[in-house]
Amino acid sequence: MSPAISSVRAPHAPGRLGEPVEPQEMQAYLQLLDEWLRARRSELDELDAAALGSERRTELTSDMTLSMALWQAVSERNRRLLEVWDGGRVGVTEREQLSSLLWGRLDTAAAGGLTVSLPEACRLSDALASQVRVKLALDPAADAQIARVKSARAAIERLRDQILLEPAGARERVADKWKALATRVADVGARVQRGADVGGLIGPLEHELARMERDLIVGNAQRREARDALATARRMRARLEQRQSDLTELVERTVRTVQPAPRYAVPDVAALGPVPSTPAAITAYIDRLERVSRAIGFAEKEYAEALDEHDDLLALLEALVVKARAIGVADQEDVRLAEQQARSVLGREPCPMPLARQLVTTYQSWTDTAPIPRTRGRETA
C-alpha cells in the first residue's frame, strides 16, 4: 500500500437519543461529516485499488464490501439529515427528528446487515479502514511509524470509552484484554522513541485493536437491539392484557344486550407465559403476541358490530317516530302499536335481533303507508 493513503476519523456526534440537538453543534457536525464522507470515499477508493493489486485480495474482499456498504449507509443518512436541517431552518420538531436520525438505527440492508446508529457506523468504518490498511501495509518509514503509533494510542482511548458500555459481567474480561493491548501500544511507542524499527510489531497490534473495536461496537449494537426487542415485547403484552380486559367487558355487554350474540373465545394473554430473555426466544414471543393481537382485533370487531346494530336500530326507530309525528300519523292506532312493539322488543335484555329488525321494518312500513290526515285549511277549501 502506498504511504499516500491516509486515515480519516469520524467527527464526534452531538446530543443524545431523545434530546433535541443544538443547532450550532449540528451545523458544525454536518460540515465535519461531509468532509469525513468525502475523505473516507477517497481513502476507500485508494484502498480498493491497492487491494486489487494485492496477493491478499480474496481475504480483503469482505472487509472492503462492508466498508463500502457502511459508507453508503452513512451517506444516505447524511442526505436525510441535510433534508431535515434545511439550511438551519429548524424548530424543536426538526431538532428532535435530527436527534432521531443521528442516534437511531441505520437501514439494516444498507449498513451491510448490521444494526448500528450513525456514530457507530462511522466508528466501525474507521476501524475497518484501519484493519484494511494493516493488512496492506508495507514496511513504513520512520515518520509513518510514528503516525501509526499515534493512531494506535487513539484507538486505545476509543476502546476505553467503548468498554464502559459493556455489561458489568463482561466488562472485567474485556478490560483485561484492553490492558494487554494498552501495554503493547505503550511498548511500541517507547521503541519508536528510541529509534527502533517496529514494522513487525505495529501491524499485528493495529489489526487486534481494529478487531476489538469492531467487536465491541457490533456487540453493543446487538445488545441494544435485544434490549429494544425485550421492551417491545413487554409493551405489547401490557397492551394486549388491557385489550383482553376491555374485550371481556365488551363480550359481557354484547351478550347481555343482543341475541344471538357472536360466539368467539377471548384470547388468553397469560397462556403465552412470561416474556423470555434470549433474543431468539423474544422474536418468537413477539410473533405469538402479534397473532393474539389479530385474534383480539377480530373479536373486538365482531362484538362491536353486534352492539352497533342494536344502537342503529334504536336510532332508526327514533328517526321514524319523528317523521311520523311530522306527517301526523304517529297517533294512528296501527302506527302507535307498531312503535310500542318495536320499543318493547328493543328494550329487552337480551334483545332478539331478528325480531327487532322485523318490527322496526314493520313500523317503517306503517309510517310509509298510513293515510296522511288532511289539514283543517284544506277541508275548508
* Among the listed residues 236, 249, 240, the one whose alpha carbon sits nearest the alpha carbon of residue 304: 249
Long-range contacts of 278-284 (CB under 8 A, 24+ apart): 279/222, 279/225, 279/226, 279/229, 282/226, 282/229, 282/230, 282/233, 283/229
How distant, in Å, are the alpha carbons of 24, 246, 250, 263, 285 from that of 291? 47, 18, 20, 19, 10
Which pLDDT does position 376 carry in this prediction? Answer: 44
Which pLDDT does position 170 carry in this prediction? Answer: 77
**Domain extents in the chain:** 1-136, 231-297, 307-373
Which pLDDT does position 140 carry in this prediction? Answer: 44
* Mean pLDDT for the stretch of residues 337-359: 95
Q: Is the pLDDT score of 278 beyond 70?
A: yes
| Contact (CB, 8 A) for 318 and 363 | no
Q: Is the pLDDT score of 213 beyond 80?
A: yes
Q: Which of 28-42, 108-122, 316-330 has the lowest mean pLDDT?
A: 108-122
The C-alpha atoms of residue 99 and residue 73 are separated, in whole angstroms, by 17
Mean pLDDT of the chain: 87
Which pLDDT does position 2 carry in this prediction? Answer: 43
Q: Is the pLDDT score of 369 beyond 60?
A: yes
The C-alpha atoms of residue 215 and residue 206 are separated, in whole angstroms, by 14
Which pLDDT does position 378 carry in this prediction? Answer: 44
Q: Is the pLDDT score of 216 beyond 60?
A: yes
- Three-state DSSP class for 105? strand
pLDDT, greater one: 200 or 139: 200
pLDDT confidence band for 353 (50 / 70 / 90): very high
Q: Is the pLDDT score of 97 beyond 80?
A: yes
Place of cell 527502533: 196
Which pLDDT does position 4 carry in this prediction? Answer: 46
Give the pLDDT confidence of 158-187 residue by residue, as tens digits.
998 888 888 777 787 888 899 999 999 999
pLDDT, greater one: 10 or 2: 10
| Contact (CB, 8 A) for 130 and 212 | no
- The dihedrals phi and psi of 344, each to the nearest 5 degrees, come to -60, -45
Q: To the nearest whole percent, how much of the chain has pLDDT over 70?
A: 92
Which pLDDT does position 16 carry in this prediction? Answer: 84
Give the pLDDT confidence of 55-90 residue by residue, as tens digits.
777 878 888 888 999 999 999 999 999 999 999 898
For the CA atoms of 36, 75, 83, 105, the dihedral, rounded to the nearest 10 degrees, stands at -110
The C-alpha atoms of residue 31 and residue 11 are separated, in whole angstroms, by 10
pLDDT, greater one: 39 or 380: 39
Q: Which of 77-86, 152-161, 214-223 has the lowest mean pLDDT?
A: 214-223
Give the pLDDT confidence of 281-329 residue by residue, as tens digits.
998 999 999 999 999 999 999 999 999 999 999 999 999 999 999 999 9
Q: Which of 64-73, 216-225, 249-258, 265-274 has the lowest mean pLDDT?
A: 216-225
Give the pLDDT confidence of 240-262 residue by residue, as tens digits.
999 999 999 999 999 999 999 99
* Among the listed residues 263, 373, 270, 258, the one whose alpha carbon sits nearest the alpha carbon of residue 324: 373
pLDDT, greater one: 372 or 2: 372
Q: Is the pLDDT score of 92 beyond 70?
A: yes
Q: Is the pLDDT score of 226 beyond 90?
A: no
Which pLDDT does position 137 carry in this prediction? Answer: 58
Which pLDDT does position 377 carry in this prediction? Answer: 45
Q: To the nearest whole percent, how much of the chain has pLDDT over 90?
A: 56
pLDDT, greater one: 133 or 352: 352
Which pLDDT does position 380 carry in this prediction? Answer: 40
